[in-house]
Amino acid sequence: MWFTLMQGIKLPPKYDLTEIFGKVSWSVRGIYEGYAGWYDGNPASMYEVPPSSIYPDLVRLAGGPEPLARLALDKIGDGKPVEALHLTDVVLAVDAKNVAALNARVKAMEFLRQHTQNRIESGWLDYGIRQAKEKLGTAQ
């Protein structure tokens, strides 16, 4: 539910913000969760088993990590770097040092980094890039 609100709620032009230290979408999610609580209406969310518990099954059904890593690169090429990050989450939950997924993850975060002026977002993306590069052994 909050994803729909995060995508749809925009400030009027007269309140145009540069979003250097936060984002309207982050505030929308925070307000929603503050008032509505943790439950998102999905029965699966009521239980202590996280979605990541079935990631190994998804990787197996996809034919291994490589097809998912390739799909992640395709998503970046299509301008959907966040979807690429989700795909790399799936692969890396199964194989934390998968080179193809880590490379795709770095590319997705670099894409996002190039397209933001938000300092908080930039900082977290820089951190994520460093983490992935450390796993790849290419950290500088």
**What's the average model confidence in pLDDT over 27-36?**
86
SS3 sequence of 26-70: HHHHHHHHHHHCCCCCCHHHHCCCCHHHHHHHHHHHCCCHHHHHH
Three-state DSSP class for residue 115: coil
* Predicted TM-score of the model (pTM): 0.82
Give the tens place of pLDDT for each residue, 122-139: 999 999 999 999 999 987
Give the tens place of pLDDT for each residue, 41-55: 889 988 999 999 999
CA distances, 51 to each of 25, 37, 55, 57, 64 (Å): 23, 19, 7, 11, 18
Cα 36 to Cα 40: distance, rounded to the nearest angstrom = 8
Cα 84 to Cα 86: distance, rounded to the nearest angstrom = 5
Tell me how far the alpha carbon of residue 67 is from its chain's centroid: 19
Give the tens place of pLDDT for each residue, 59-101: 999 999 999 999 999 999 999 999 999 999 999 999 999 999 9
Q: Answer yes or no: is pLDDT of 140 > 80.
A: no
